[in-house]
Structure 1
Amino acid sequence: MARRPSSTSAAKAFTRAYQRSMKALTTATLRNQRRIAGQVQRAAAEHLKPPRGPGDWLAGAALGPGGARRYHLYRPPDMQVGERLPLLVMLHGCGQTGRDFAASTRMNLLAARERFFVLYPEQDRIAHPHGCWNWYDRRFGKADAEAATVMAAVDQACVLYPVDRERVAVAGLSAGAGMAALMATRYPVRFRALAMHSGVAPGAARSPATALGAMRGRHVPPMPATAVGKAMGAAAVFATLPPLLILHGDADLVVSASNALSTAEVWAAATGAQPGVVRTVQRGKRHAMRVTEFKRKGRTFVMLCEVAGLGHAWSGGAPRLPFSDAAGPNASRLIWAFVSKQFKAAAAA
């Protein structure tokens, strides 16, 4: 007759099995932690890695009412003693970093050739989990606080590097376009030009709920000139707003293309500009675009470019990158051509 194992033997067997399980679990946990740590380190290294091309990729941080924000500044190569260069502020969209935006737009390559600085402020994921600028949150002051913090980064760049303060412009994509417009209305004398790519009309939202409606083409701000100041913010009243370039795809499923015309009408009303004849422009096999210029006394204060077949992506951006469409007209070149023209016009005024 077989002897039944004693309770002591069973307890020892259970203990050994438990210890083996815990050892395996500990080994697997440590292996997983090392794997995650390696991924984080590689992601951090990729984030700090300079985009391809000549010049310097300089890291910094600025502190303002909205907290601290990191930034990178691109400095073109072979700077000469005493040389002062223009500055273009580039504000990324949701889900992007400053480096992502630089890689997608390839603005640094253009800056190396045309000789200008590029500043890439970066949203903190604590401030927004998806990396979106809070351009819409004016009801509780978060939007103005972030705009002031980005402005602190601009001021810091102007102090630390030989920036020509009379030649500063701001541009952005999507949420970055909204923040760029907010900055231009809050600090209109600081910027000579503004470029909005796939953004929401200024004054169309004041909270997260109204921002979603504005992205779908609702909550369009009033068009009469008497209401423009209220729609865009107090700093825009009695101030000369910088000329505006608008780029938007008519196939954008994230931000309704109706925002492009709304933005143009708001800005034109604020600057007293009148629309001209719509013309179609196409370069090679790239997407065609409908161009409307709003002028006052012969000077263009708003240029609206509606790109056929373009979705929610940087037109003419680097291929195979998120939020980038290589088949569109080159937005980076269009922006710099517009900005540099405004620099010359301001200097001649």
Structure 2
Amino acid sequence: MKKRLRTARWAKAFARGAMTLARMTTRMASASAGRPMKRARRKAAAPRPGVRASAGTWTRGLAMGVEGALRYRLYAPPDLQPGEQLALMVMLHGCGQDAEGFAICTGMNRIAAKKRFLVLYPEQDPLSNPQRCWNWFDTLHGRANSEAELILKAIDQVCTLNPVDPRQVAMAGLSAGASMAALLVTRHPSRFKALVMHSGVAPGTANTTLTALSAMRGRRPTLPLSATPNTMAADWPALLVIHGDADTTVSPANAEAAAQSWAQAAAARSGQVRRLQRGKRYPLAVTDFKNRGRLVARLMLVAGLGHAWSGGAAKQAFADVRGPDASSLAWTFAAQQFGG
């Protein structure tokens, strides 16, 4: 009994200390906002659009828990008003990226400046994975779940220290980031209103490094979600899947498996495939899965797109400017789930 009391006291003290450190880190980052970007611009000959947009703040943060520590970047639009509560979009980068690179790649900050929402970019530590991949697949040894919980702590911290409406939180990710986002959402579905998977693998498809490689090639079945139709109808977030049909890194079969797993858990039926194209951008094949009129999942297959963020910034790795604007699609989808 005494041991449990000591453990509980230690956990509370740790949590208080972590939050105090987080506040100090956020204040320091806010005070120095702009200077890191000036250094970055001097190093790069080309402009770096999409990080701070035309206005707003771009700050650093640190979340801590018993699972470890997690750095993140946060974008907030300009002219925040007292008492204002904004939506939060959480963006998880893919392998070979970091928070700043993903912000540049997606251009999500520019949309956030116009539509007035905050964007959180958790950043994988290279000590956790040399390629900066989220360890979404390692559920067998617990690394995946630990990383998911640490990301959730970063979300909680940002919601506490910033004018965020906790009822309007959505997650999006690319590749390994998409898979980690899906894992976190399935662990805590009531915390999120929408999930956007771009070129990822659904939860329940892999549990080790070897099975992850097989899953990425589309050679492993996806296990059913551990949710009932009643749970799905009550508080399970809607899913948007975006995937290129020319992706040779993560098979497009994974996109269909993710949408189908969401649909099957909610007893949703697929509608007719719609063919869409805007200008000279790659065309889309869109399929909606609904249960009694409620949108459960939407699958968007992009013709000709490889393993890259659709409509991403020009001359950026892991981005293809010729695709439909995935950032706009992601925000529009999330806003619809928020009721906006």
TM over 0.5: yes
Pairwise CA distance, 1:202: 1.9
1:279 partnered with 2:274: yes
Aligned partners of 2:90 and 2:218: how far apart in 1?
27
Measure the CA separation in 2 of the matches of 1:180 and 1:269.
20
SS in 2 for 1:228: coil
Contact 2:190 2:236 survives alignment (8 Å) = yes
Name the amino acid aligned to 2:172: A
Hey, what's the Cα distance between the residues in 1 that align with 2:183 and 2:54?
31
Letter in 1 for 2:270: P
Distance 2:315 2:233 in 1: 44
Work out whether 1:303 is the aligned partner of 2:304: no
Cα deviation, residue 52, structure 1 = 4.4
Whichever residue aligns with residue 263 of structure 1, its letter is A
Structure 1 CA distance for aligned equivalents of residues 53 and 97 of structure 2: 17
Post-superposition shift, 1:209? 0.7
1:122 corresponding residue in structure 2: 123
TM-score (norm 2): 0.83
**Aligned counterpart, 1:38:** none
Deviations 1:101-149 (A, max 9, x none): 0001000000000000000000000000000001110001110000000
Determine helix, strand or coil for the equivalent of 1:303.
strand
Matched, 1:228 2:222: no
What is the match of residue 82 of structure 1?
83
- Pair 1:194-2:188 in alignment: no
Q: How does 1:240-251 map to 2 (within 5 A)?
A: 240-251=235-246
- Contact 2:53–2:113 (Cα < 8 Å) also in 1: no
Pick one of 40, 53, 58 that aligns with 1:46.
40
1:96 maps to what in 2?
Answer: 97
Residue 284 of structure 2 is matched in structure 1 by 289
Judged with a 3 Å threshold, the aligned counterparts in structure 2 of structure 1 residues 238 and 205 are, in CA distance, closer, same or farther, namely farther
| Equivalent residue number for residue 333 of structure 2 | 338
Contact 1:290–1:305 under 8 Å retained in 2: yes
Structure 2 counterpart of 1:94, one-letter code: C
Change (3 A) 1:254 1:149: same
1-structure distance, mates of 2:301, 2:179: 17
Say yes or no: does 1:324 pair with 2:319. Answer: yes
Q: Is the 8 A contact 1:201 1:220 kept in 2?
A: no
The structural deviation recorded for 1:270 is 1.5
- Percent of matched pairs sharing the same residue: 52
Tell me, yes or no, if the aligned pair for 2:52 and 2:75 is still in contact at 8 Å: no
Distance change >3 Å, CA 43–CA 284, structure 1 → 2: closer
Aligned-pair distance for 1:44? 11
5+ residue gaps, structure 1: 1-41
1:64·1:145 contact (CA, 8 Å) conserved in 2? no
2:130 is paired with a residue of what secondary structure?
Answer: coil
Q: How does 1:90-169 map to 2 (within 5 A)?
A: 90-169=91-170
Instruction: Tell me the equivalent position of 1:18.
Output: none
> Cα deviations across residues 190-240 of structure 1 (Å, max 9, x unaligned)?
000000000012210011110000000011224xxxx431xx89xx89974
The answer on whether the counterparts of 1:86 and 1:117 sit within 8 Å (CA) in structure 2 is: yes
Closer, same or farther: CA 246–238 of 1 in aligned 2, 3 Å: closer
Partner of 1:206: 207
Shift of 1:43: 11
CA distance in 2, matches of 1:66, 1:315: 33
Aligned partner letter, 2:240: L
SS in 1 for 2:124: coil
**2-structure distance, mates of 1:96, 1:239:** 35
- Mapped to 1, the partners of 2:184 and 2:225 lie a distance apart of 16
What code does the residue aligned with 1:324 have?
A: A
